[in-house]
Amino acid sequence: MYKKTVLDNGITVVTESIAYYSTVSIGIWWKAGSRYETARNNGISHFIEHMLFKGTKGRTAYDIAREIDAIGGSINAFTGREYTCLYVRVLRKDLNLSLDIISDMYLDSLFDPEDMEKERYVIGQEIKMVEDNPEEYIYDMFNASYYKGQALGLPILGTEKTVEGLTAGQLTDYFRDSYGPENAIITITGRVDHDRCVESIKRLFGGSSRGSAGRDSGALVAPYATRGIDIYEKELEHAYLCIGTDGVSQVDRRRYVLYILNAIMGGSMSSHLFQEIREQRGLVYNIYSYVNCYHDAGTFGISTSTSQESITEVLVLIKEEILRIRDRGITDAELSFSKEHIKGNLFIALEGSETRMGRLAKNEIYFGTYIPLKETLREIDGIKKKDVAAIAKEIFDSPQEISLTVLGNVDRRKVEAVWKE
């Protein structure tokens, strides 16, 4: 059962009571992420996420970890492009203790300059790890090229230069302005009583008062694509490819149609791209397509890696698949398969309280309300072949204009000859 309450200080509390769960997942979500940053303070949201774990007025960093470990729970956090989340998963009996810990981390984190210097080094190592992992780094390269000069093109972690330049004052000011209660959502899933949760949250989080207006989706500037071929040279055994074009936003109902297209093209091991390029040809170890949706924009992409000798053939095959889908559409069998694939994935994921907790938060962030599961299933079941054909023709209208980002040592002329043909 879904319930929602907005506290006097602006914090939104959303719960979903599930009688058969023995665990409870609690998340505090802020409408803050790399998309709300600038080129100068890029990485500040991720830095703040790290600093929340470095101790409070009443708990050391060790105390935070020890208290959660002592009850067999888990605590973690992540930063995205449009939100940041701090979350715990514990047994139902430890709900109030967990709320106490995360309220302490939210309201009384020290942001100690000495700890900040240690964490600056840790984040620097994290950035290097991403750069040393081309399968992950290629996405940062694609976003930087596709949304060139815009916030959506900034890396979530920031760069070594921007992270090095951030000061303790900048972090505390940004935290005050962007992480106020009016920008906070607390979501809880499990066998919980909404009214009791609200009372506990009022008691623990009531000391937080409304700050500045904060940042919300209304302040966002709609992004635009900078299309082209971008090659980043790096000494690698393989060439890493990321191909992408405009998708749809998180609030566009056609996102379900795009999920269908994704499942057919490259979203599973039985998809066209995986079967043709990996299984039949043996040209890659892995290949898949993906969908990213934001407040007002989105991308549809394909990612893979291959040897220097095979890059031309792989690009030709990907382009042929794009043209085939655009010109011929999909079959009844493919539509039926993809619907069951998506629904099956959804049901399996929702077996966990963490996934349900995240779904509550994202519904609140993007829609300001709860989207019942049956409504989502109805949207999926209602999709027709013509809907998939229409969106395929729209996003693949001109394959030569679809952006391509390559990481590795490749011959630009060969790549351009294939892709612009």
CATH number of the structural domain spanning residue 95:
3.30.830.10
For residue range 318-376, list pLDDT tens digits in order. Answer: 999 999 999 999 999 999 999 999 999 999 999 989 999 999 999 999 999 999 999 99
Catalytic residue among 16, 37, 49, 364: 49
Strands 184-190 and 12-17, by their bridges, are parallel
CA angle 56, 61, 64 (to 5 degrees): 85
Q: How many domains does the chain have?
A: 2
Residue that terminates a domain, selected from 194, 218, 242? 218
Answer left, alpha or beta for residue 295, where phi above 0 means left and psi between -120 and 50 means alpha.
alpha
Q: Are residues 147 and 283 in the same domain?
A: no
Domain termination site, one of 190, 218, 246: 218
Least confident of 77-81, 198-202, 413-417: 413-417
The pLDDT, as a whole number, for residue 102 is 98
**18: its two tokens:** 């599930």
Question: What are the φ and ψ backbone dihedral angles of 283, each rounded to 5 degrees?
Answer: -90, -15
Residue 216 has pLDDT above 80, yes or no: no
| Gap between the Cα atoms of 68 and 53, Å rounded | 12
Q: Are residues 209 and 303 located together in one domain of the fold?
A: no
Domain extent for 364: 229-419
Reply yes or no on whether the pLDDT at 298 is more than 80. Answer: yes
**pLDDT for the residue 420:** 84
Percentage of the chain exceeding pLDDT 70: 97
User: In terms of domains, do 175 and 242 share one?
Assistant: no
Q: Which residues of 26-46 are buried (b: 16+ CB within 10 A; e: fewer)?
A: bbbbbbbbbbbbeeebbbbbb
Q: Are residues 184 and 278 in the same domain?
A: no
Q: Does residue 170 share a domain with residue 22?
A: yes
- Give the mean model confidence (pLDDT) for residues 37-44: 97
Whether 249 and 373 map to the same domain: the answer is yes
What's the pLDDT score for residue 215?
A: 53
Instruction: Answer yes or no: is pLDDT of 391 > 80.
Output: yes
Q: Given pLDDT bands bounded at 50, 70 and 90, which one contains residue 210?
A: low
Residue 63 predicted with pLDDT over 80: yes
Q: Are residues 267 and 196 in the same domain?
A: no
pLDDT the model gives residue 217: 45
Q: Is residue 284 part of a domain?
A: yes
Per-residue pLDDT reduced to its tens digit, 88-127: 999 999 999 999 999 999 999 999 999 999 999 999 999 9
Tell me, yes or no, whether 199 and 245 share the same domain: no
Question: What are 107's strand-pairing partners?
Answer: none
Q: In whole numbers, what is the pLDDT of the chain averaged over residues?
A: 95
Q: Are both 116 and 53 inside the same structural domain?
A: yes
**Region for residue 214 given its phi and psi (left: phi exceeds 0; alpha: psi -120 to 50; beta: otherwise):** left
The DSSP symbol for 25 reads E
Tokens for 83?
Answer: 């939100």
Residue 223 lies in a domain: no
Confidence of residue 401 (pLDDT cuts 50, 70, 90): confident
Residue with tokens 């898949």: 288
Which of 218, 251, 275 marks a domain boundary? 218
Collect all residues with Cβ–Cβ distance below 8 Å to 295 and sequence separation of at least 6. Answer: 82, 217, 220, 249, 250, 251, 366
In a domain, 224, yes or no: no
CA–CA separation, 203 and 398 (whole Å) = 57
Q: Residues 303-323: what's their mean pLDDT?
A: 96
**Is the same domain home to 391 and 277?**
yes
Whole-angstrom Cα Rg for the chain = 23
* pLDDT tens digits, one per residue of 237-277: 999 999 999 999 999 999 999 999 999 999 999 999 999 99
Q: DSSP 3-state assignment of 140?
A: helix
Query: At 74, is the secondary structure helix, strand, or coil?
Result: strand
User: Is residue 163 pLDDT above 50, yes or no?
Assistant: yes
Mean pLDDT over residues 205-211, rounded? 72
**Letter string b/e over residues 263-283, b meaning 16 or more CB atoms within 10 A of that residue's CB:** bbbbbbeebbbbebbbeeeeb
In the structure encoding, which two tokens stand for residue 107, read together?
């309201």
The 8-class DSSP code of residue 184 comes to: E
For the question of residue 49 being annotated catalytic, the response is: yes
Q: What is the pTM of this model?
A: 0.95
The verdict on 37 and 130 lying in the same domain is yes
Residues 282 and 198 in one domain: no
Segment 181-195 mean pLDDT: 97
The rounded percent of the chain whose pLDDT value lies above 90 is 92
